[in-house]
Amino acid sequence: MTEPLSFEKSRRSASPPRLPEADVAGPEPSQILAPDQLRTNPPGLPRLSEPEIMRHYSRLASMNYSISKQFYPLGSCTMKYNPVVNETAAALPGFADLHPYQDEDTVQGALDLMWRLERALCAVVGVERVTLQPAAGAHGEWTALRMIQAYHHSRGDTRTEVLVPDSAHGTNPASAALSGFHVVEVKSGRDGRISLADLESKLSPKVAALMLTNPNTLGLFEREILDIAEMVHATGAMLYYDGANLNAFMGICRPGDMGFDAVHMNLHKTFTTPHGGGGPGAGPVGVKADLVPFLPTPTVERTNGHLKLDFKRPRSIGRVRSFYGNFGMLVRAYAYIVAMGGDGLAQASRDAVLSANYLRKQVEDDLEMPHDGPCMHEFVASAHNLAGDGVRALDVAKALLDRDFYAPTVYFPLVVQEAIMVEPTETESKATLDAFAAAIKEIVAEARSNPQALHDAPRNLPVGRLDEVAAARRINAYLQGQSEDPVLRWKPAQK
C-alpha cells in the first residue's frame, strides 16, 4: 500500500477548488506591490478534484498509527487516550477565535482559564507559581535553568555546573548545555537509582542545580529523595524536577514536598493534550518562592475577580515564547483536569502504576528485568536474553508493529543494554495488556525458532525495515563532500 504525492497525481483538467469569496476589503495586490514582486506564473500547486483530495488524505490517514487506533506503549512518553471533549472545549469560538492582541477586558474568560490552570498545576506539584509559556518539556527545562541561573546571579554567585544522572532524558543535558552550563554526569547505582556516593563527590559550590527525574527513567522511585534534597541545598544548589511524566504521582505525592525548587510538566503527556508529530505541546514550569521573581513575563494576575497580564516584572528572565504559550493546549489540559477532579487524577495515577506492574509481571519470564520491581508508571525490560539467537531490541520492536502494536521505546535509558521501555498508562484495558503480553511471548518464541523472521519485520506495513546503516553512511559521505545530496524530499521535474 503506497500513496503517490498529490503533486504526482495532479491533473491539469481537474476543476479548480471552490474557494469562498475573500472577506478582506482593501486594494488588490497589484495596487500595493511593485511589479517585480508580482508573480507572472501561477504557483505549481497540485490540481485535483475535491473527492480526489478527500481520498488522498483519507488514505494517508489510514497509514498513520495513533493512540486513537491502537495501543501505544511508548516509555517515557505517556501516550494516553486524549479525551474528545478536550477538543470540543478548545474549539469553542470564545477560545479558538481570540486574537492575541485583543484588549484584556475582552479576554477575561481566557485569562481566567490560564489563572485556574496555574492554580491546579500548583496544587498537583506543590509549588508557588507556574508559567504556562514554554512550548515543550525541553523548553520548560531550559526556562527553569535560566531562572535558576538568574537566581544565582542575583546573589552574586556564579555557578557553572549542572549535575545530571546517567539515566536522564537526553533533553536534560541538552537544556543545561544550551543555558551555558557545564554538564556533569552522576552515576546510577546497581539498583538503578542515583548513587549518593557519586552525587556527594560531584557536589561543590560550582554546582547550580541537580536535575532529577522521579520516578526516574527506569520507572523507579528515588527513595532517598529527602536526603538528596538536603545534600543539594546544603551546597547552595537548587533541585530541578523533570516532571515530563507525572503519571505515577498525581494527587499522591508532590515534587514541591520532596524539596524540589523547580519542576516542568508536559501537558502533552500527563494531561492528555495531543502528543507527537511535532505538533504544539506545552511544558509549564512551576517554581518555589525563591524563583518567583524570575518567572517569564507576562504572568496572569487576578485582583477582585479582574484578570490582567503583568508585564512589569523587573527581575524576570523575559519572554520565552511569543504571546502566551500554546493556548489551545492549555484549554485541553484544563478540560481534562476539571473532568477528572482531584480524586480522578489520583485514581488515574494508581491505575497507571497498576497497569505497568501487571504488564511487567506478564512478561518477566520472557524478557530480562534488569531491576527489581515493583515499578511506578513504566518499566524497563531488556532483550539481552535474546542476543544468543542474534535478536535485538530493535527486532522485537519491529515485530510488534506487524502485530498491530506500536513499538515501545528502545535503547533508552542508555544505562540498560537492549532496553525496551514500556508505559501502558491507565487508559488501557486488561484485555489490551494481555494481548500485548501475548504478542511479546510469541515474538520471544519466534526468536528461538526463526530469528530471521524477526530481522525481516515489519512485513505488513506500508514501509518495511529501513536500512539505517546505509542511510547513516550516505549522510556521512554527503557531509564529507563525497556524494550527491541524499534525496529527502520531492522536487518538481525541471521544465
- Of 48, 67, 71, 76, the residue at the interface with ligand PLP (CB under 6 A) is 76
Helix 430-449 vs helix 393-402: angle between axes, to the nearest 10 degrees? 120
3-state helix, strand, coil in the chain (%, to 5): 40, 10, 50
For residues 478 and 475, what is the distance between their CA atoms, to the nearest angstrom? 5
Q: Which residues within the stretch 207-236 sit at the binding site for ligand PLP (CB under 6 A)?
A: 213, 217
Closer by beta carbon to ligand PLP, 134 or else 256: 134
Taking residues 247 to 276 in sequence order and writing x for each that binds ligand PLP by CB under 6 A, - otherwise, the string is -------------------x----------
The 3-state secondary structure of 21-46, one letter per residue: CCCCCCCCHHHHCCHHHCCCCCCCCC
Closer by beta carbon to ligand PLP, 137 or else 192: 137
377 lies in the binding site for ligand PLP (CB under 6 A): no
Closer by beta carbon to ligand PLP, 76 or else 355: 76
Closer by beta carbon to ligand PLP, 86 or else 273: 273
- The footprint of ligand PLP on this chain (CB under 6 A) covers a number of residues equal to 15
Taking residues 27 to 56 in sequence order and writing x for each that binds ligand PLP by CB under 6 A, - otherwise, the string is ------------------------------
Q: Which of 18, 14, 19, 4 is nearest to 47 (CA)?
A: 14
**Which region, judged by CB under 6 A, interacts with ligand PLP, from 43-51, 98-106, 241-249, 312-320?**
241-249
Q: Which of 267, 321, 318, 342 is nearest to 82 (CA)?
A: 267
Count the neighbouring beta carbons within 10 Å of the beta carbon of residue 268.
Answer: 28
- Of 145, 162, 203, 244, the residue at the interface with ligand PLP (CB under 6 A) is 244
Q: Are 163 and 209 in contact (CB under 8 A)?
A: yes
**Cα pseudo-dihedral 271, 276, 279, 280, rounded to 10:** 30
CB of 372: closest distance to ligand PLP in angstroms? 21
Closer by beta carbon to ligand PLP, 179 or else 213: 213
Q: Which of 396, 382, 400, 411 is nearest to 436 (CA)?
A: 400
Q: Which residues within the stretch 126-145 sit at the binding site for ligand PLP (CB under 6 A)?
A: 136-138
Name residues whose C-beta falls within 8 Å of residue 358's C-beta, 6 or more positions apart in sequence. Answer: 430, 433
Q: Which residues within the stretch 303-342 sit at the binding site for ligand PLP (CB under 6 A)?
A: none
Strand partners, 185: 164
For residues 276 and 478, what is the distance between their CA atoms, to the nearest angstrom? 29
CB of 245: closest distance to ligand PLP in angstroms? 5
Rounded to whole angstroms, what are the CA distances from 367 to 359, 361, 362, 396, 446? 12, 10, 10, 10, 13
CB of 251: closest distance to ligand PLP in angstroms? 20
245 lies in the binding site for ligand PLP (CB under 6 A): yes
CB of 477: closest distance to ligand PLP in angstroms? 31
What letter represents residue 394's amino acid?
Answer: L
**494 CA to centre of own chain:** 40
Q: Which residues within the stretch 144-173 sit at the binding site for ligand PLP (CB under 6 A)?
A: 169, 171
- Of 118, 242, 378, 395, the residue at the interface with ligand PLP (CB under 6 A) is 242
Question: Where do contacts with ligand PLP occur on this chain (CB under 6 A)?
Answer: 76-77, 136-138, 169, 171, 213, 217, 242, 244-245, 266, 281, 283
